[in-house]
Amino acid sequence: MAKVLIIGAGGVGQVVTHKCAQVPEVFSEIVLASRTKSKCDAIAAQLSRPITTAQVDADKVPEMVALIEREKPDLVLNVALPYQDLAIMDACLETGVDYLDTANYEPPDEAKFSYHWQWAYREKFEKAGLMALLGSGFDPGVTNVFTAHALKHHFDTIEELDIIDCNAGDHGQPFATNFNPEINIREVTAKGRYWQEGTWVETEPLSESQTFDFPEGIGAKKIYLMYHEELESLVQNVPGLKRARFWMTFSDNYLKHLEVLQNVGMTRIDPVRFQGVDIVPLQFLKALLPDPGSLGPLTKGRTCIGNVIRGHKDGVEKRYYVYNICDHEAAYREVQSQAISYTTGVPAMIGAMMMLTGAWRGKGVFNMEQFDPDPFMAALNQHGLPWTEMFL
């Protein structure tokens, strides 16, 4: 029985809150806080059990400290913006509370995401006797655990890893993003990066692609090479990994709109002076695009996210695929959010459950693949993200 403080009331925050509320034997008390309290209250009204809501500006450490000291949670579960990770970690250190997030820190003024800022907190968390679990979403998160599961049960060594993320859903909008538009577009327009023979290889954005045949009737889709944060930790924690890549599908319609927006400067993240006021074009674009939360009742189709792994077991080369398929409409029926938020929010709840029940414990800052994958994999099957594995 534990108390969790959830920071962030967007699409993922909604899913996390629903899923925590479904497990009262672990999450006996839930506090949901955001800069806009009315969003928290709207989520609370969807639930069959009472929770506490609060207003907080997660950029401001004193406000976070005051909220934590008032509510005294056992764990702070951060599903706010990646820009706020370090401030929330600072508040947890000051108040002596464990920390969990789903995405690594990203500075507001540079489209660069890396774990090094948060890994720098290892010694502080160790000395404080606290645990911070990073990237407990799907990718990163489940994909890290998939890799640890494969290494534990099916391989002696893993040489090649391809993480492949497909959203085969359709929301019917001319152009919209399935999660925070600002974060989504910064991620997609960044240069690609993959691990090859002990070094990082950089590519132009979305310049490398191939076709992948997805299972269970989804079929062949074009996938594009990107950089994604879980690669950074996996190349450190999986010995012998020679190549690690991340791929994602995009519709032709999405790419066409994105190209036009880039060409006219609407994806810029540096301030532009307009009528005497500094505005960031991408933040203005975010205000014009559909709220990802509004896409839930509109989106049909499925996601398929998984790992293709090549390695050796007992001297024999093997190729293996482990994946999850999530249905947008089923996710909406359960938690009133589409599958993109669902596939991030469920693993956040499970990661919190691993920490609060003691299944995963440690002092310091950790990534998902550093713990025993078995209890997490079992919980995926129990809480809405069943997985399938096969040898290719």
CB-CB contact of 31 with 6 (8 Å): yes
| Cα distance between residue 129 and residue 119, in whole Å | 16
Residue 189: helix, strand or coil by DSSP? helix
Does a structural domain hold residue 332? yes
Is 17 within a domain? Answer: no
For the segment 18-32, what is each residue's pLDDT rounded down to a tens digit?
Answer: 999 999 999 999 999
Torsions phi, psi of 153, nearest 5?
A: -110, -20
Would you say 90 and 105 are in contact if contact means Cβ atoms under 8 Å apart?
Answer: no
How far, in Å, are 76, 141, 145, 352 from residue 348 at the CA level?
A: 11, 8, 13, 6
List C-alpha distances in Å: 289 to 142, 180, 278, 378: 29, 10, 20, 38
Token code pair at residue 375: 């209890």
The CATH code of the domain that includes 240 is 3.30.360.10
Nearest-Å Rg of the Cα atoms of the chain is 20
Report the distance separating Cα 183 and Cα 321, nearest Å: 29
pLDDT computed for residue 111 by the predictor: 66
Give the model's pLDDT for residue 237: 97
Number of domains, the chain: 1
Residue 297 lies in a domain: yes
Sign of the torsion angle spanned by Cα atoms 286, 288, 292, 293:
positive
Residue 71 lies inside a defined structural domain of this protein: no
Domain assignment present for 236? yes
262, part of any domain: yes
Q: List pLDDT tens digits, range 126-149.
A: 999 999 999 999 999 999 999 999
Specify the pTM. 0.93
Element (H, E) at 44: helix 37-44
Query: Is residue 166 within 8 Å of 221, Cβ to Cβ?
Result: yes
- Domain extent at residue 178: 142-338
Q: What is the pLDDT of residues 205-236, one digit of tens each?
A: 999 999 999 999 999 999 999 999 999 999 99
Q: Please state, in angstroms and rounded to a whole number, the distance separating the CA atoms of residues 18 and 148.
A: 28
Confidence of residue 264 (pLDDT cuts 50, 70, 90): confident
Which residue's entry shows tokens 């890290």?
Answer: 144
Whether 361 maps to a domain, the answer reads no
Q: Is residue 187 part of a domain?
A: yes
pLDDT above 80: residue 294: no
Helix (H/G/I), strand (E/B), else coil: 264? coil
Of the candidates 259, 240, 242, the one whose C-alpha atom is nearest the C-alpha of residue 250 is 259
Mean pLDDT on 296-313 = 93
Q: Does 178 or 174 have the greater pLDDT score? A: 174
**Cβ atoms within 10 Å, residue 237:** 16
